[in-house]
Amino acid sequence: MFSTKEMPSPSSLFSAFASITASVMFLQSMLHQILPQQLRDYLISVLQNLFKAHTPMLTFVFNEDNELGGLNDIYYAAGVYLETLRGPNTKRLNVSKSPKEVKGLIFRLEDGETVTDLFDGGIELHWTFVCSKSDKDSSEKRYYELSFHNKYEDKVSNSYIPFVLDRAKAIGEEKRVLKMHTLNNSYKGIGWQSINLDHPATFETLAMDLNKKDDIMNDLNRFVRRKELYKKVGRAWKRGYLLYGPPGTGKSSLVAAMANHLKFDIYDLQLANVIRDSDLRRLLLATGNRSVLVIEDIDCSVDLPDRILQGEEEKKSDHHQNHDKNSIAGTFLTLSGLLNFIDGLWSSCGDERIIIFTTNHKERLDPALLRPGRMDMHIHMGYCTYEAFKQLASNYLEISGDHHLYGEIQGLLEEAEVTPAQVAEEFLKYENADSALEEFVKLLKGKKIKDDECEVKTDENTIVMV
């Protein structure tokens, strides 16, 4: 035991502590001035490794850039995925907003923040975001650290990291802003330019027969999950649709609903602006995967030279025919050039492609366009049915149940032809649902009378040959 005389006084203890602290600060300052940054980092890493040698934990580091100087996919996938893991212990988040590319706010961990994930029945994984600055050039090095028990190394490498990549891809697709690509002529030639696709059409709001909507959605869902089957049978991973019917029957709305359902960008290809087969190949090779290629009004958008030549063959000599045909085929867009991309060797240049043709007159199309493998599903877009009418009434008039005029309207729709576009335009004129439906009944009765008069005139002008 120490006597009272041997015990140091509080002032002596404080002086000793201050002296030690000053010495440590002085030593730290001298080390920063004498030792270069690389040597300091090396000593720190040695100390960390000595400490880690006594712990079963293993840490993966995902830098922002990979070893080849490109972007590290795992780094960016981690940022997207970790947004879903933040919890009550997360203190600081970096919040940003992209006005064009991503829907909603973007949340990322701030420097030093750690979140914990559980995988495959309880494996604990600790993610930490680190942003270190270099004293030499003030540059920043950003990376994620993933720490876990070293006995799970194989499972983390082979199962967890692929899981993070897949989840990040799904989240990114959900938040991604879809694009509408259209043709643009410039001094560099014809190419694509894009704008945000803000079309609100979905299968839930689409005015169409319910069974037909279900058939289309099932076909699309079956297509996107059959990658391995397409590869196994040696077919390009694409699907062709033909939408045909009178104007105003919802063909463009169906295209938008399909794109929104699949989360695919739309490429609007106006063939009238494409001059050569070579231009067509260049444009189609520039389209991205997971895209919808739309060629509207295929029957009248362009006069393909293959057809023109067939009508002129009888007017020219054999010599002139062969010369002109070879000249045009090498210079202009041809039907064979279009078909070669849809179903030839060029069709394999890209994955998960939807190709949609629209027309008001299916009978005018070349039979070569219509066979399976080019146009796999033919969808007739007809006049407004009773089911489509009720969907439009729900969309525009917010009528969720039945209405006392529905029975009369159902009968009139079986006799009078109106397009969904006409119904929608009629509903937009009124804010009161009763008024809108009463005026719609008058419209249908007027069209029925007009249609009956046309039938009578047709019968009167018919000449019967005996």
Least confident of 123-137, 236-250, 257-271: 123-137
Both 356 and 232 in one domain: the answer is yes
- Could you tell me the residue range of the domain that residue 188 belongs to? 179-305+330-380
Most confident of 60-69, 302-311, 420-429: 420-429
Both 248 and 285 in one domain: the answer is yes
Going by pLDDT thresholds of 50, 70 and 90, the confidence category of residue 313 is very low
Both 186 and 265 in one domain: the answer is yes
Q: Is residue 109 part of a domain?
A: yes
Q: Is residue 44 part of a domain?
A: no
Both 80 and 97 in one domain: the answer is yes
Q: Is residue 51 part of a domain?
A: no
Going by pLDDT thresholds of 50, 70 and 90, the confidence category of residue 379 is very high
| Residue 395: predicted pLDDT | 93
Q: Is residue 132 part of a domain?
A: yes
User: Average pLDDT, whole number, for the chain?
Assistant: 80
| CATH code for the domain of 279 | 3.40.50.300
| Residue 91: predicted pLDDT | 76
| Residue 51: predicted pLDDT | 55
340 against 382, higher pLDDT = 382
Report CA-CA distances (Å) from 198 to 140, 179, 327.
Answer: 37, 8, 43
**At residue 75, does pLDDT exceed 60?**
yes
| Residue 24: predicted pLDDT | 64
Domain boundary among 347, 380, 413: 380
| Residue 368: predicted pLDDT | 78
**Mean pLDDT value of segment 181-196:** 85
Cα radius of gyration (the chain): 34
| Residue 315: predicted pLDDT | 44
| Residue 157: predicted pLDDT | 94
Both 362 and 402 in one domain: the answer is no
Both 345 and 238 in one domain: the answer is yes
Both 216 and 293 in one domain: the answer is yes
**At residue 52, does pLDDT exceed 60?**
no
Quote the pTM value.
0.67
Domain boundary among 362, 380, 398: 380
**At residue 456, does pLDDT exceed 70?**
no
Q: Is residue 3 part of a domain?
A: no
pLDDT digits (tens, 9 = 90+) for 328-376: 444 567 777 777 777 765 566 667 889 999 999 888 888 878 877 788 8
Domain boundary among 340, 360, 380: 380
Both 201 and 111 in one domain: the answer is no
| Residue 304: predicted pLDDT | 56
Going by pLDDT thresholds of 50, 70 and 90, the confidence category of residue 2 is very low
Q: Is residue 94 part of a domain?
A: yes
- Counting the structural domains of the chain, the total is 3
High-pLDDT (> 70) share of the chain, %: 73
